[in-house]
Amino acid sequence: MHLPDLDDLLDRVHVVSLPMRVRFRGVTVREVALIDGPAGWGEFGAFAEYAAPEAAHWLAAGVEAAYRPLPPVRRDRIAINATVPAVPPEQVPAVLARFPGARTAKVKVAEPGQTLADDVARVGAVRAQIPTVRVDANGGWTVEQAVAAAAALTADGPLEYLEQPCATVAELAELRRRTDVPVAADESIRKADDPLRVVRAGAADVAVLKVAPLGGVGPLLRIADQVNVPVVISSALDSAVGIGIGLAAAAALPQLTHACGLGTGRLFVEDVADTPDPVDGFLPVNRAAPDPDRLTALAAPPDRRDWWLDRIRECHGLLDSVAR
């Protein structure tokens, strides 16, 4: 990738703070740096705990979107899943109401401080309204815990898959030998030095791919072409800008058989652009451009803007080394 001049990149950055409806991934406000580039808007939103070598992949994705055209699309709408945080079951109907027409739901499980019984109750509340349910443990279980969870969570109905039930590739492979529930890999792909290792090890039935952690749409499509399992495109708690880029990536895939995790914009109280509501569980493929007034209203405090600019400076020097 041709790298933009650092000063030019910094001049194009807008840092925003997006309030969330519920706590998700431990945060109630999502900060991202948006890049107003010559090819469109890009997004850099690596989570705060990520060190520069990992965060640099996210910056590469933002630079790609801002400075290079996106690939041609093969479809004009994408089926999305509802995303259900680790909320009590009585809150599930309100969460699902934000995803009209969705036929698939992804439910967060293995939340620290919660029990398997909490997960079963939440999944049961979702299953009462949505026909297809997948769960995401973010690597939170041991193999033994995952085997027990798979049995408990399928006692009243099937699961489409367990997303990243265990942390390591070896654990995922062992779990696949011990359960009939399909296993999806997320962190084992996006956090790996070799994103294809999980598939070569026979450790995944589905690959969950996210644009930002993989370094952009181009790298994502190259990985999707090599994994030889069905692909789900998901967001990394992106703003409307990042969601639009994710939709473009999903639309560019030669085959897409599963609903994608690109409806997480429903988790924000406010976003930088208006996004259409899902229709019959689908979102149109549409690249978002922020509203100037919202960029102003949602601007991060000066100290947080400075923090993000310093982070961009640090990651910019690593961009050559993260190209895949």
Q: Name the residues annotated as catalytic.
A: 108, 210
The H-or-E segment that residue 152 falls in is helix 143-153
238 marked as binding residue: no
Torsion angles phi and psi, residue 297, rounded to 5: -65, -30
Q: 174: helix, coil or strand?
A: helix
64 marked as binding residue: no
Count H helices and E strands in the chain, helices first: 14, 12
* Pairing status of strand 132-136 against strand 104-108: parallel
Phi-psi region of 141 (alpha: psi -120 to 50; beta: other; left: phi over 0): beta
Q: What whole-number distance in Å separates Cα of residue 98 and Cα of residue 80?
A: 12
Q: What whole-number distance in Å separates Cα of residue 222 and Cα of residue 71?
A: 12
119 marked as binding residue: no
Contacts 24+ apart (CB under 8 A), 51-54: 52/311, 52/314, 52/315, 52/318, 53/318, 53/321, 53/322, 54/191, 54/213
Q: What whole-number distance in Å separates Cα of residue 13 and Cα of residue 306?
A: 11
Numbered residues of the known binding site for Mg(2+): 136, 163, 186
Numbered residues of the known binding site: 136, 163, 186
